[in-house]
Amino acid sequence: MADQKKLTRAEQKALRPIQILDAAFEEFVRNGFTGARVDDIADRVGVTKGTVYVYFETKEKLFEAMISHFSVPFQELLAITASLSGSAADRLMSMLGLLYDQIAEDRTTRELTRLVISEGQRFPDLIDRHHDQFIAPVIAKIDNLILEGVESGEFREIPVEFSDIVVAPILTTTVLRLIFDDRRVPTPDREAFLRTYFDLLFNGLLVDRR
């Protein structure tokens, strides 16, 4: 705030909407759509309420713009996984590791998930976009990786609806962190978590199988 004094008018202006979106993110996350106050969002930026309305017509539009702003589709993630090599298991692990980082460990995505859960009913479009841009591509990718593993003889054949199960530990970690946020349930150690996750995923719980 102090060093923004040096910015020119034009720079300020280009910055404003982003500052507001950032502030909106924090307030909407903390209080939900209805609970958040435009006044508080403005305060966070250091401007007055009116200024928010210079850039966003309504609180609702601001909310939607904020969601769009922070919802950077998993383009890169999918791109990376496309270039993976190695066994199907290796590629699946790489993908799940990336997903873990992007969903469970990244605060932004995590809190976006909270908003999707809590405000989804009020903003159905939000859900649709979230599904199309996040869920569907990821699920499709996982399906593919598993199918390839099946075809190469690495993986056992498994009904098609199972992808949720494969990624479940990631979403579950995300949700538990949203709920407990280090209060009761400690944030798991990334490496240890993934090790156990993958071990169970690939080998299962039973000692002696067949």
Partner DNA sequence: TATGAATGAGGGTTCATTCAT
Partner DNA sequence: TATGAATGAACCCTCATTCAT
Residues lying near a copy of itself in the complex (CB under 8 A): 30-35, 89, 114, 116-122, 124, 127-128, 130-131, 135-136, 146, 149, 153-156, 158-159, 161-162, 164-169, 171-173, 175-176, 178-180, 183-185, 188, 192-193, 195-197, 199-207, 209
Please state, as a whole number, how many other Cβ atoms lie within 10 Å of the Cβ of residue 207: 6
User: Whole-number minimum distance, CB 52 to a copy of itself, in Å?
Assistant: 18
Within 95-114, the residues that bind DNA by CB under 7 A are: none
> Which one of DNA, a copy of itself, none interacts with residue 51, CB within 5 to 8 A by kind?
DNA
> Which one of DNA, a copy of itself, none interacts with residue 37, CB within 5 to 8 A by kind?
DNA
| C-alpha dist (Å) from residue 141 to 73, 78, 173 | 14, 8, 20
User: Which residues fall within 8 angstroms of residue 20, CB to CB, at 6 or more apart?
Assistant: 41, 42, 45, 51, 52, 55, 56, 62
User: Whole-number minimum distance, CB 30 to DNA, in Å?
Assistant: 13
The smaller minimum CB distance to a copy of itself, of residues 21 and 167, is found at: 167
The smaller minimum CB distance to a copy of itself, of residues 34 and 68, is found at: 34
Contact 104, 111 (CB under 8 A): no
Location of structure tokens 């590629």 = 91
- Report the phi/psi class of residue 182: left, alpha or beta, with left for phi > 0 and alpha for psi in -120 to 50: left
Number of amino acids touching DNA (CB under 7 A): 23
Per-residue contact string for residues 36-75; x = within reach of DNA by CB under 7 A: xxxx--x---xxxxxx-xxx-xxxx---------------
| DSSP one-letter code for 153 | T
User: Whole-number minimum distance, CB 7 to DNA, in Å?
Assistant: 9
Contact 155, 90 (CB under 8 A): no
